[in-house]
Structure 1
């Protein structure tokens, strides 16, 4: 049996204010092509279909199209919900979808209800564990402890009991969780509870393949426990990630082979750094002109209109930060007394930029100070 493992689509997510929907649609096309080209029997999607519980209409439309195409493909499909999804909304009509070979596992009561997928060696029992919010799991299952490990441990206890009752059978588990050994990125939502969010890989001992979701980088925790990562980079901390999908072969005795297939990269990410003149003229940045760009400007004085000037060369620069050289041991903190708000603001501009504000900027700062003053007809002074 050949399995395709994907997760963390985050449909509807924006990248620094830019829509990612066309890039996400391109990944769905890639996924459907893989199913046919590589003769996939089972697709498992380990949570975070959407980027938020109430996704925008166009994201729902893309999910609807993706699900319909997957249901019509040669593969059976099992989908779980993640911490960004609304389990209730994603799982709507799940029993009706079962009849179409498209299986949604978003409710705690169904974690030990497998999807049975046959091949020439018998059946594979596929279990979907949605994201388990510890408080909800504790109440629902009457657990003695509130933690991610307690919730996931109870889910696996129920799954193992079902497997034991079935006799010899190969097994696949989908889970949306933070499992020890993975590395986080900036685009993931923290799921820590009481400072502890990770669970050990030992919880999945005895399972032939564990398809994990939540972390946005691909990770091999053990041969049979893996994260696929997100199909697209959703933060500049993922600039060096290889995005894609795991292809997993199960033989008669269990896991037989794995292969990571890279996803298309509609627009790469680039992190560039230098003075503004270097960024605007150096040939070393030629390859980054059509990338999503995070620029760090190292000029000692903050350049005027830096973003607009950079956009003339890098049309997709979306993040800008400043890192001027600093003098070791220099302190920038001092007590200010007997000066007006306007004078303090002018001094701040001069200190940060290394040159005084222009006359127009000075007038603008005066207007702002007066607009915030208790006495709009006078400039408030700081008491000595």
Structure 2
């Protein structure tokens, strides 16, 4: 059984105001060719099909084109919703679509949906399709002691209908850690702060392969067969140095799955260029990459520059972001850090006095200071009383 593992398509996404639709279509065209050339049985999509719960019409049309291309080649599509998707919208027409080989699970109904496929060699693989779960919605229904992602995931997987004699693949959109170790993340994701509501990878030990979505940087988690495929494109400059790929997974009747990473070539790469204005616009630097790429330029000139953005756009028409790293910015950063450290030494009353002066351009009167001090004392007394009662 061969299948491609996709996730985090984010169709319709805009990056720094630039629409990614043409870039996404360029990447999906490659996926269609990969699927045909490798004669895969299925393509799985681990959530975040769209970037917004109400996607633009062009994004819906692009997804329609994509799964139609796959279905015309008799390639089964198995997809779940992510936290960016509207599960209810994705469920529209799912019964009819499943008859055409498009299995799209938008919402969880209490039981993990599954689809069993058999390849030419009669290797049977059961795909378990688990959409994005919101613990608070299921705590009462599942009679959970805690409304955490770990608890709701354990309860959901306990309701899986397990076909004996088949290999098992889980398709899920969630935040996974390995023994408390966090996955490598990027700036374009929405992830739990400090790993709260994470799911430990040990929960998936019974599965032959776990196709995960949610984290945009491709990576394995503990073992090769528990994997984030990563996003379709680079959606932030924190991903600039990390190429994108599509895992081609081969599962046989026994043994570990074979995983091959098929590289994706972007229509326009997303890159960072750093240096003085005269250097980054030089022919030597221009020839080092495609000038039509999406760029973040970090200028290091110390002297004042006249309209550097216009000078850069004349060479790099898809300039997304312009930043400076010079003596002035470094001084400003140091001063900001000093102000922050000084503010941490002030009492709440002193902080409010400082805020009042900045907002009004004058100091508080003696009467205002007296009233503020009285309010401060009352708040302290209230906190002490609450502490004693607790």
- Per the normalisation by structure 1, the TM-score is 0.81
- SS in structure 2 of the partner of residue 154 of structure 1: helix
- SS in structure 2 of the partner of residue 114 of structure 1: strand
In the TM superposition, residue 330 of structure 1 has moved relative to its aligned partner by 7.0
- Asked whether 1:167 is paired with 2:164, we answer yes
- SS in structure 2 of the partner of residue 307 of structure 1: helix
* Alpha-carbon distance change, 154 to 301 in structure 1, aligned in 2, over 3 angstroms: farther
Deviations 1:254-295 (A, max 9, x none): 533110001121111221222223323362343242221101
What is the aligned partner in structure 2 of residue 208 from structure 1? 208
What is the aligned partner in structure 2 of residue 187 from structure 1? 188
What is the aligned partner in structure 1 of residue 81 from structure 2? 81
Q: Distance in 1 between matches of 2:332 and 2:92?
A: 59
Q: Distance in 2 between matches of 1:329 and 1:53?
A: 38
* 1:162-311 equivalent positions in 2, closer than 5 A: 162-163=161-162, 166-180=163-177, 181-192=182-193, 196-221=196-221, 222-281=223-282, 283-288=284-289, 289-311=291-313
Aligned partners of 2:169 and 2:208 also within 8 Å: yes
Q: Distance in 2 between matches of 1:91 and 1:329?
A: 49
Aligned partners of 1:247 and 1:258 also within 8 Å: yes
In the TM superposition, residue 331 of structure 1 has moved relative to its aligned partner by 4.5
- Asked whether 1:7 is paired with 2:10, we answer no
Deviations 1:121-175 (A, max 9, x none): 442111111111221232443322111111211122222xx21xx3232101001
In the TM superposition, residue 25 of structure 1 has moved relative to its aligned partner by 0.9
In the TM superposition, residue 200 of structure 1 has moved relative to its aligned partner by 1.0
Runs (5+) with no aligned partner, structure 2? 340-358, 364-390
Q: Distance in 2 between matches of 1:21 and 1:317?
A: 18
Q: Distance in 1 between matches of 2:57 and 2:304?
A: 41
Aligned partners of 1:35 and 1:74 also within 8 Å: no
Q: Greater CA deviation, 264-273 or 38-47?
A: 264-273
Q: Distance in 1 between matches of 2:333 and 2:25?
A: 51
In the TM superposition, residue 319 of structure 1 has moved relative to its aligned partner by 0.1
Q: Distance in 1 between matches of 2:303 and 2:39?
A: 58
* Alpha-carbon distance change, 20 to 102 in structure 1, aligned in 2, over 3 angstroms: same
Q: Distance in 2 between matches of 1:54 and 1:329?
A: 39
Report the aligned-residue RMSD.
2.4
Aligned partners of 2:299 and 2:324 also within 8 Å: yes
In the TM superposition, residue 316 of structure 1 has moved relative to its aligned partner by 1.4
Q: Distance in 1 between matches of 2:334 and 2:97?
A: 65
Q: Distance in 2 between matches of 1:57 and 1:43?
A: 23
Q: Distance in 2 between matches of 1:266 and 1:212?
A: 25
- SS in structure 2 of the partner of residue 313 of structure 1: coil
Q: Distance in 2 between matches of 1:306 and 1:77?
A: 48
* Alpha-carbon distance change, 302 to 290 in structure 1, aligned in 2, over 3 angstroms: same
Q: Distance in 2 between matches of 1:117 and 1:47?
A: 20
